[in-house]
Structure 1
Amino acid sequence: MPESRNRKKQAYTPPSEKATPAKKLSGGRWVAPVMLVCFLVGLAWIVTFYLAGSEIPGMRDLQNWNILIGMGLIAIGFVVSTQWR
């Protein structure tokens, strides 16, 4: 029975460190506080609107846009959370 041909594998050589500069991709210390503040302010905005929105002059004028503002702040918190490492 004929033998199949042997393939020679090349020896693995790791890339040199000079060829690939290491980038520091940390999110920084600001990410977690900003994320939490956006979450909490958005939640507080929505809760305040539902509990006392008709009694607060600025919220009364915005009507249901208050929900969009609160959800927008929460969405900004999620966008900022993608930078957290």
Structure 2
Amino acid sequence: MPESKSRKTGNKAAKAAKADRAQLRAERRAQEQEPGPLPTWYKAIMFGLMIVGLIWIVVYYLTMGVAPIPQAGGWNIGIGFGIACVGFLMTTRWR
């Protein structure tokens, strides 16, 4: 059975409206997913942890195990490396 002209144009209008709504949803999703820049405190902590870990290991070697924690012994290297690793892990969120 043939369709009337009004029914055919109504279909086009509905498709156009549906396409417009889809376009608006896509734009909204793109805006929501766009991450902003990192705050300054995050960067300071990230670089600070990397530097503190490095200094920890250097102090351990320069003092021949007397500092930073004499009772930890060789574990001072692991402690320094762990502190630095936390800073390096924070770089995964770098923007």
Equivalent position of 1:55 in the other structure: 66
TM-score, normalised by the number of residues in structure 1? 0.68
* Partner Cα separation in structure 2 for residue 34 and residue 62 of structure 1: 25
Query: The residue matched to 2:25 in structure 1 has which SS?
Result: coil
Structure number with higher relative contact order (C-alpha < 8 Å, ≥ 6 residues apart):
1
In the TM superposition, what is the alpha-carbon distance from 1:53 to its structure 2 partner?
Answer: 4.9
Bigger helix share:
2
Structure 1 vs Structure 2 CA RMSD = 2.3
Structure 1, unaligned stretches of length 5 or more?
Answer: 1-12
Q: Is 2:50–2:83's contact at 8 Å kept on the other side of the alignment?
A: yes
In the TM superposition, what whole-angstrom CA distance separates every residue of 1:13-34 from its partner, at most 9, and x where no partner exists?
A: 7x51334422242333333211
TM-score, normalised by the number of residues in structure 2? 0.62
Equivalent position of 1:25 in the other structure: 35
Greater radius of gyration (CA): 2
Q: Is 1:53–1:60's contact at 8 Å kept on the other side of the alignment?
A: no
